[in-house]
Structure 1
């Protein structure tokens, strides 16, 4: 009888592969051999990993992105170290960064593009490294030093730019698609690194390129971002991704359907209405001609049309509740609440937009501000609940996202609601939430709010007779604007105006810098 073959003992790999005595690919947090066969990866002992929730895709997405990730072309294009960052991007970044409104750009297109375009591949590696750098702040067990991590980020950032050069020369539609996808990765990467100005510049360059792309491509008109499910169009997904990062969009609002088919479709329509409200508000604040010299009927009529659009949206939203919110708590549950919050904010904005000088009008919306705060606190409790904790939080990465979340809503409430208890609740919320939402950084937003409150209130409430008094118009700030810093060594500039009783205006400026010792944003003169 022939001697029995002796298998060598498996010394490395996950516990599941060791038990099965098969070669493990040692993927983190779960190996692909276990994932692809439906097994639970038991991890790597003291080195962590394992479990079956890491590979869970967002609701509504399939496994195409994971399949694309492991295509032979993509695997052959990277070395072992780069593979680890691709795995991080697949199991962490793609799950986390889009927030609760994930769509095909993240779930499909980005992996397909990376499989054939080196510029996209290297931009993904740079973004993954920047995202993992945030994880270093939350998990000291990670074995990569920050300076080495930064070197990896900059190395692949440079390579991505180098590989983009032929596409800029070509100027074909395909090349412009590659440039736009890569540009989006740059925007997200810079926002994660706190380089808000650089990220914003990338975004503006991408929008200029997108405008040129739409002008050069007659077929783009046939793609609608407001069809659900989205047509199988890379162009539509790219446009949708840019619109979500761009808050200044004044294009026409399409007709609202009687019923939304998904949270994404409801979100896209609400985004357009909000953009129109922003645009009208901006016009009223920055008109070259004084408001009293404008056609007195034009502004109210535009305001009324926006109210009607908002009412139509809410009717469709209510009609869609049964299909938008499943019985099981998940991403769609949170998405539905976020949509309702921003609908209520849109209601306040459309009511106040044509008379920006009347800050007292916001007091009539105190009930809405309270409801919004209750809803935001409910989202926070949901995100920590067992059904969603493993989806929203990873122990070794931040909770930063690139999309709409709680921070813009909290910021708006704090600036426009002058009820002291509600304002201070927003600061407490932001200080216990260490993450970013696009350009919105929670701790910087909290510090700006504190500065605004200090300027507005001053010593007004020091007297016991005014403890419960309403803050008068002469104390309230107008035209609050913030110039974001380009990194933690930069300066955030807060500028605002206040009107005295004699109708003269006071311009107020504050500068904030980051104190590395306290890890807080402080007034420049305090440093």
Structure 2
């Protein structure tokens, strides 16, 4: 008698196939651990668990989201993975697994690690913006252009970038439609604006990023006024607003942009790193105002200019405030109750780097001599040491691409161009080459290029000088007339409309009568990156003498 044919087994051996998994895992065709109210697989990957289908109620489900974020957005039915392309799912997974861990933990940990992954699943505007941002980071294309706002990058030609910009445009269109219909809450608009800033920074469009920053600030100020609040603000929305305000404050400080200051430095005892950061930001804004004012005043002054007493008094007051902050900060970090955890060590070092950078700028803000920076060699070295704790050595393919928060790029650039100690400035350039590639609008490799060209000019004493990766055997410091007062990369077009990049520098030089004057030089650069980061340079020198 023939044995009846056995029915092919479905599922894993030794387990009964379950039909009770969450909706998200079913769509992704993954095994669900079926934990309630939300499965652990979704939560650990930053996904929003869309709940479970009730027995006997096919086609309906209970959507779940954490109570802390449930009221942040009131939107239409949230999109699920069933309604998007597989490439979008892959981009989102890249965002969660690669982009989020690289993002800053100083200001915006909650924003990147919790808020965005969850809101992406409930708001199509944010979903499209996140996918666009993730794609631009995954397929990062360094333009090699200047950080000067007027300079535009070449048109995007890669398919990955076209696709990313299509998602970007889709997000903007949805946001505009929602705003026109009055269906978009202010938090959606502000969070989207933050993401749009990131996208413009990655495309090397600093002027567009700054315009979006100004729009975000205007929206935050408008929503803070009671007469502009069309609906009750939830506790979660207030938390989001606080996080976004911290992000904008950081961008304002690093870009020297206007933002409602509101706070006055009063040297309170510091108890947390967040309090130390906020107190330091107050000083940064005061330093910015001072540096902008003195730069305008010194523009047409002779080398032997003596600053007026009111400027000296202002400088001394800001300097004393910085020293008071540093003393309070050191007292806080020496407190035995404080736990020395890795996250705090990084934040501690970051505040030291920022403090050192601005303290030196304030102390030299009225000086007409570049040699006055030489007395700060110990502080420059301290900045580099702390920056090395922030920048973890990684292979080129694992090097972080982008952070919204400005951390160390402008400070390390300041060390590279203003510290004339040959070893310290090369350490700073090396850190620029190994750290995050883009911090807000600051591009590390571009800044490192300018720094290397500047070092080559100063150490050779010629505008044709080429950077040598190894410090010179003799540790002689460059004289004043070899040092650059200012430099940048600019792009000019010839009569045929072809763009050529120039390294523009300005330095003090003496004529035959020993009279000092500022002289501009421009050197045409045709740079081809070789292995080991070296350059071949075709040079053209133009002087306005």
* Shorter-chain TM-score above 0.5: yes
Comparing both structures, which one devotes a greater share of its residues to helix?
1
CA contact (8 A) 1:101 1:335 kept: no
CA contact (8 A) 2:187 2:241 kept: yes
Equivalent position of 2:90 in the other structure: 84
Equivalent position of 1:504 in the other structure: 517
CA contact (8 A) 1:66 1:90 kept: no
CA contact (8 A) 2:125 2:171 kept: yes
| Higher mean C-alpha displacement, 453-462 vs 300-309 | 453-462
TM, length-normalised to structure 2: 0.70
Corresponding residue SS for 2:290: helix
Equivalent position of 2:319 in the other structure: 307
Equivalent position of 1:139 in the other structure: none
Residues 1:183 and 1:212: Cα distance change in structure 2 (over 3 Å): closer
CA contact (8 A) 2:280 2:325 kept: yes
Equivalent of 1:473 in 467, 473, 480? 480
C-alpha distance after superposition, 1:164-183 (max 9, x if no partner): 3235646x796654333222
Alpha-carbon distance in structure 1 between the residues aligned to 2:274 and 2:336 = 10
Residues 1:8 and 1:340: Cα distance change in structure 2 (over 3 Å): same
Matches within 5 A, 1:230-245: 232-245=238-251
Residues 1:122 and 1:257: Cα distance change in structure 2 (over 3 Å): farther
Equivalent of 1:436 in 438, 443, 453? 438
Matches within 5 A, 1:28-47: 33=32
CA contact (8 A) 2:354 2:408 kept: no
CA contact (8 A) 2:502 2:524 kept: yes
Alpha-carbon distance in structure 1 between the residues aligned to 2:335 and 2:227 = 30
| Structure 1 residue 102 corresponds to structure 2 residue 108 | yes
Alpha-carbon distance in structure 1 between the residues aligned to 2:33 and 2:160 = 28
Residues 1:436 and 1:30: Cα distance change in structure 2 (over 3 Å): farther
Residues 1:278 and 1:149: Cα distance change in structure 2 (over 3 Å): same
| Higher mean C-alpha displacement, 252-261 vs 92-101 | 252-261
C-alpha distance after superposition, 1:282-340 (max 9, x if no partner): 22122398569998232122212322332332233223326799645322221111111
Equivalent of 1:126 in 129, 132, 135? 132
How far apart are residue 126 of structure 1 and its match? 0.4
| Structure 1 residue 353 corresponds to structure 2 residue 353 | no
Runs of 5+ in structure 1 lacking a partner? 12-17, 42-51, 57-61, 137-145, 222-228
Higher RCO (CA < 8 A, seq sep 6+): 1
CA contact (8 A) 1:249 1:275 kept: no
Alpha-carbon distance in structure 2 between the residues aligned to 1:267 and 1:230 = 23
Corresponding residue SS for 1:205: helix
Corresponding residue SS for 1:267: helix
Residues 1:235 and 1:512: Cα distance change in structure 2 (over 3 Å): farther
C-alpha distance after superposition, 1:59-86 (max 9, x if no partner): xxx99689999x9724266444323323
CA contact (8 A) 1:277 1:353 kept: no
Alpha-carbon distance in structure 1 between the residues aligned to 2:122 and 2:501 = 40
Equivalent of 1:166 in 177, 199, 209? 177
Equivalent of 2:163 in 122, 132, 152? 152
Residues 1:397 and 1:300: Cα distance change in structure 2 (over 3 Å): closer
| Structure 1 residue 372 corresponds to structure 2 residue 419 | no
Equivalent position of 2:274 in the other structure: 264
Residues 1:20 and 1:127: Cα distance change in structure 2 (over 3 Å): farther
How far apart are residue 220 of structure 1 and its match? 11
TM, length-normalised to structure 1: 0.72
- Structure with bigger gyration radius: 2
| Structure 1 residue 73 corresponds to structure 2 residue 70 | no
CA contact (8 A) 1:324 1:336 kept: no
Alpha-carbon distance in structure 2 between the residues aligned to 1:20 and 1:474 = 82
Alpha-carbon distance in structure 2 between the residues aligned to 1:100 and 1:154 = 29
CA contact (8 A) 1:249 1:276 kept: no
| Higher mean C-alpha displacement, 71-80 vs 438-447 | 71-80
Residues paired across the two proteins, number: 469
C-alpha distance after superposition, 1:89-134 (max 9, x if no partner): 2333233223444344334543565455432221111011112224
Alpha-carbon distance in structure 2 between the residues aligned to 1:73 and 1:493 = 50
Residues 1:294 and 1:368: Cα distance change in structure 2 (over 3 Å): closer
Equivalent position of 1:417 in the other structure: 419
